[in-house]
Amino acid sequence: MGIKTFWPVLDQQCVGEAISIPVWANSHYRKHGRSLRIAVDEANWRFNSISDAEVDKIRQKCPPANPREKRTLERERALSLLGLNVQLVFVFDGPNKPSKNSRNGRKVDESRVSFLKLTLDNLGIPYHTAPGEAEAECAKLQQLGVVDAVWTDDSDAFMFGAKTIIRFHRDQKGNKSLDKAMRYSAERIESHAGLDRSKITMFAFLVGCDYGTSKGLPECGEILALQLTRQQALPADNVSTAKG
């Protein structure tokens, strides 16, 4: 989830861009002479692909089935992205992952991801285990120039310093597009919504986010939070307090 109401705020400000992944990958290769590289928040893909109840139902009929891994590779488009010359780096949550208020805040269970790691190894897809929060590590990889974008639904990745976030593009029925994605950039957030990284951090404090007991300021919705953050920003040195 990330920062409460942040995605709707960005959509209201027309920050997100519906893009063609093949076109983006091709233009990136022409410009930079290398493949587009994307860090994938593995837990976000896994928990949003299929529910525990659906997994149990499938395994009642076919005990050896691994539906989460299959959907990660097929429905979540990992294999098709590789076919488009997009390099993926899967980032797993690490042992120091902090507690969250949402269901994605569960502690890491290696048994739940060991088969996916084996599958990625066999396919030659690199992966990396973060010290703690995967989306924070994804953001760091982008800051270091290791990847060009972060694929996650957790908006707090912007708070961690991500510059470009990718989300699944869905039609009116909620089905994921096979060749489109929604792209959100820190540059467009600042130009369209008036929020730089420090203001995003303040917005998260005001409306609430996933971490600890941060439920936000009582009676402070996104409209008031936007008004306050646009008037005053956190000092740049204090942004480090939001890092995972």
Residue 159, amino acid: M
What integer best gives the mean pLDDT of the chain?
84
For residues 57-66, give the mean pLDDT. Answer: 87
Least confident window among 66-70, 106-110, 112-116: 106-110
Q: What is the CATH number of domain 15-189?
A: 3.40.50.1010
* Highest mean pLDDT out of 69-78, 100-109, 140-149: 140-149
Which is more confidently placed, 110 or 154? 154
Predicted confidence band of residue 107 (pLDDT cuts 50, 70, 90): low
CA distance linking residue 169 with residue 177, whole number of Å = 5
What is d(CA 32, CA 52) in angstroms, rounded to the nearest whole number?
41
Dihedral sign, Cα of residue 195, residue 197, residue 201, residue 204 = positive
Q: How confident is the model at residue 59 (pLDDT cuts 50, 70, 90)?
A: confident
On the question of pLDDT at 169 being above 70, the answer is: yes
Strand partners, 88: 38
Q: Indicate the helix (H) or strand (E) that contains 182.
A: strand 176-185
Which residues does residue 38 pair with via DSSP β-bridges, in sequence order? 88, 149
For the chain, percent of residues with pLDDT exceeding 90: 37
- Which range has the worst mean pLDDT, 86-100, 122-136, 195-209, 226-240? 226-240
Per domain, the residue ranges of the chain are 15-189
pLDDT of residue 40: 96
Structure tokens, 21: 């992944």
pLDDT > 60? residue 240 = no
pLDDT at 75 over 70: no
Q: What is the pLDDT of residue 233?
A: 47
- Asked whether the beta carbons of 159 and 204 are under 8 A apart, the reply is yes
Q: Over range 22-40, report the average pLDDT.
A: 96
> What whole-number distance in Å separates Cα of residue 40 and Cα of residue 187?
21
How many whole angstroms separate alpha carbon 80 and alpha carbon 204? 35
**Residue 170 and residue 76 in contact, taking contact as beta carbons nearer than 8 Å:** no
Q: What pLDDT score was predicted for residue 130?
A: 94
